[in-house]
């Protein structure tokens, strides 16, 4: 036990002291901060207003199109389209909107001229304005009062609530999915990044020829486990440092620049949908966004964090140990990194499949059969189960999955140690699967 501890220490310390580790550890939170600051900063500088010239030949929209804070409307005095175009050419306005004589029942032929491509946003907003105006005119024509109609419209936001034994909790599908996906992505990348480090470490020991010196002092199994555990420590250290540093950096940036958190993609999507439903939404956008925000933060605070974090650590370590020992075995079986491809393939396939499935099938139907089986089978469970957990997984399933994961990594570690003890002393021989399977039962 003392020896394995020495090995763990060496594996850990040599990696943590590496420049690449230190750079990665400190750079990532800075990049994260940059991701926050740069869009916010860009938003403040690119707050230029769009100016649109309007040539209204129909006369329907005169005075009706109003300038907004960042979208200015300049009506063009009556004249031909050609004249207007020429006038537009001389300005640096965003676009020229041409409304020909219109049939209210069939509004066609409206054109937007611009020197550069206009942004979608400007186009949508103009379309919205025109649609609304045409609708109003149609209402008037059919004798319906616009204000009356507005009063009759209903606007509903549903709050989703989880009914469980522990009581009612506000939930948010986006938050729930997000929390799981984040955990799954982190596990996926850590298994890959650090699994490959194990493999490289073993290959390094083999090519350095230190391995025979080592195993005349310690057992091959100790050497392998020491490396796996040591590198796990490196991974956890890096992860914790990222969490801590990110919190500090993000907090610092927020305080320094006084920016609100940029809206998450979820909020932007919701805001987008609301925008599409028309003007009313725009009017209530402010309040709705506020309510979305509170809903999201409510849902976040209602996630079961201890459970989520506990499961994350378990699946993080379990998945890492399961795959890590296999990566170690690959390292032992080959002489150099270029030979690893054929053995890497079967290991990476279940990882990649579970990663892809987790944000497609699993997220859409977290209680479906695919999600269920993939979260039970040890090779896919570390990633898939993380996605399912925020949606609520029965304790029995969770225990089954965890139990199988433990059995799984005991099994892969056994296989790996068998391959390892033969492989590390084998040089200059191209290994295939048949050879590898023989090693499992060699008496050494």
Partner 1 sequence: MSILKIDGVTKRYANHTALDNVSFDIPAGCIFGLLGPNGAGKTSLIRIITQITGADSGEIYFKGEKLRPSHIKDMGYLPEERGLYKKMKVGEQLLYLAQLKGLTKEEATARIKEWVARFEIKEWMNKHIEDLSKGMQQKVQFMATVMHQPSLIILDEPFSGFDPINANLIKDEILRLRDNGATIIFSTHRMESVEELCDNIALINRSRKVLDGPVREIKDTYKTDTYQVIGNGQLMVTSPDFEVLEQHSNHGVFRASIRLLDGASPNDLLRYLIQRVEVHSFIELVPSINDIFIRKVKETYHA
Which residues contact partner 1 by CB under 8 A?
3, 6-7, 10, 14, 204-205, 208-219, 425, 427, 438, 443-444
Residue 21 corresponds to which tokens in the numbers above? 């580790």
CB-based contact 370:357 (threshold 8 Å): yes
CB of 236 to partner 1, least distance (A): 22
Residue 203 or 393 with smaller CB distance to partner 1: 203
Single out the residue of 223, 235, 269, 282 nearest to residue 420, CA to CA: 223
Instruction: Give the three-class secondary structure for 198.
Output: helix
Q: Which residues contact 296 (CB under 8 A, 6 or more apart)?
A: 172, 174, 175, 264, 266, 267
Residue 9 or 89 with smaller CB distance to partner 1: 9
CB-based contact 382:405 (threshold 8 Å): yes
Residue 207 or 341 with smaller CB distance to partner 1: 207
Residue 61 or 194 with smaller CB distance to partner 1: 194
Residue 427 corresponds to which tokens in the numbers above? 């040089």
CB of 17 to partner 1, least distance (A): 10
CB-based contact 189:235 (threshold 8 Å): no
Residue 182 or 215 with smaller CB distance to partner 1: 215
What span, in angstroms and rounded, lies between the C-alpha atoms of 124 and 142? 26
CB of 215 to partner 1, least distance (A): 5
CB of 1 to partner 1, least distance (A): 13
Residue 208 or 396 with smaller CB distance to partner 1: 208
CA of 124: how far to CAs of 70, 96, 118, 272, 348, in Å?
Answer: 14, 15, 10, 11, 44
CB of 294 to partner 1, least distance (A): 52
CB of 204 to partner 1, least distance (A): 8
CB of 24 to partner 1, least distance (A): 17
Burial label, 105 (beta-carbon count in 10 A; 0-12, 13-18, 19+)? exposed
CB of 3 to partner 1, least distance (A): 6
Residue 257 or 427 with smaller CB distance to partner 1: 427
Buried b (16+ CB within 10 A) or exposed e, 270-308: bbeebbeeeeebbeeeeebbeebeebbebbeebbbeeeb
Residue 205 or 295 with smaller CB distance to partner 1: 205
What count of other Cβ atoms lies within 10 Å of the Cβ of residue 116? 7
CB of 16 to partner 1, least distance (A): 13
CA of 132: how far to CAs of 125, 138, 278, 353, in Å?
Answer: 11, 10, 8, 47
User: What is the CB-side half-sphere exposure of residue 344 using CA atoms within 13 A?
Assistant: 16
CB of 21 to partner 1, least distance (A): 13
Residue 397 or 435 with smaller CB distance to partner 1: 435
CB-based contact 375:393 (threshold 8 Å): yes
Residue 89 or 217 with smaller CB distance to partner 1: 217
What span, in angstroms and rounded, lies between the C-alpha atoms of 353 and 74? 55
């Amino acid at each position: 036990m003392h020896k394995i501890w020495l090995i763990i220490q060496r594996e850990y310390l040599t990696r943590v002291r590496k420049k690449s580790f230190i750079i990665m550890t400190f750079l990532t939170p800075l990049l994260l901060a940059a991701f926050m600051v740069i869009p916010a900063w860009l938003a403040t500088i690119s707050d230029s207003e769009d100016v649109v010239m309007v040539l209204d030949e129909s006369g329907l929209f005169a005075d009706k199109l109003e300038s907004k804070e960042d979208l200015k409307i300049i009506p063009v005095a009556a004249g031909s389209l050609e004249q207007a175009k020429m006038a537009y050419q001389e300005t640096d306005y965003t676009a020229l909107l041409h409304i020909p004589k219109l049939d209210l029942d069939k509004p066609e032929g409206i054109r937007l001229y611009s020197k550069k491509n206009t942004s979608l946003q400007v186009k949508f907003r103009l379309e919205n304005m025109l649609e609304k105006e045409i609708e109003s005119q149609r209402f008037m024509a059919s004798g319906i009062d616009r204000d009356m109609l507005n009063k009759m419209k209903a606007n509903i936001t549903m709050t989703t609530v989880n009914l469980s034994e522990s009581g009612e909790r506000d939930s948010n599908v986006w938050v729930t999915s997000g929390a799981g996906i984040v955990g799954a992505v982190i596990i996926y990348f850590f298994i890959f990044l650090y699994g490959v480090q194990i493999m490289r470490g073993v290959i390094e020991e083999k090519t350095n020829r230190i391995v025979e010196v080592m195993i005349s002092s310690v057992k091959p199994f100790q050497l392998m486990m020491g490396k796996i555990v040591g590198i796990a420590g490196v991974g956890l250290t890096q992860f914790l440092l990222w969490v801590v540093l990110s919190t500090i950096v993000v907090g610092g940036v927020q305080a320094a620049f006084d920016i609100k958190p940029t809206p998450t993609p979820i909020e932007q999507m919701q805001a987008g949908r609301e925008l599409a439903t028309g003007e009313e939404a725009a009017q209530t956008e402010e309040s709705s966004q506020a309510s979305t925000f509170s809903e999201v933060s409510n849902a976040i605070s209602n996630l079961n964090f201890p459970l989520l974090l506990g499961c994350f650590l378990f699946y993080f370590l379990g998945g890492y140990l399961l795959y890590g020992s296999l990566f170690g075995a690959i390292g032992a079986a080959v002489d150099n990194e270029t030979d690893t491809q054929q053995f890497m393939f079967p290991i990476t396939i279940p990882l990649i499949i579970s990663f892809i499935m987790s944000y497609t099938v699993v997220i859409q139907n977290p209680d479906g059969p695919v999600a269920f089986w993939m979260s039970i089978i040890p090779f896919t469970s570390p990633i898939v189960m993380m996605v399912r957990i925020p949606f609520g997984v029965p304790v029995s399933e969770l225990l089954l999955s965890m139990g199988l994961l433990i059995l799984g990594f005991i099994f892969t570690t056994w296989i790996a140690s068998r391959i390892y003890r033969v492989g590390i002393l084998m040089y200059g021989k191209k290994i295939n699967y048949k050879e590898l399977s023989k090693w499992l039962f060699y008496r050494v």
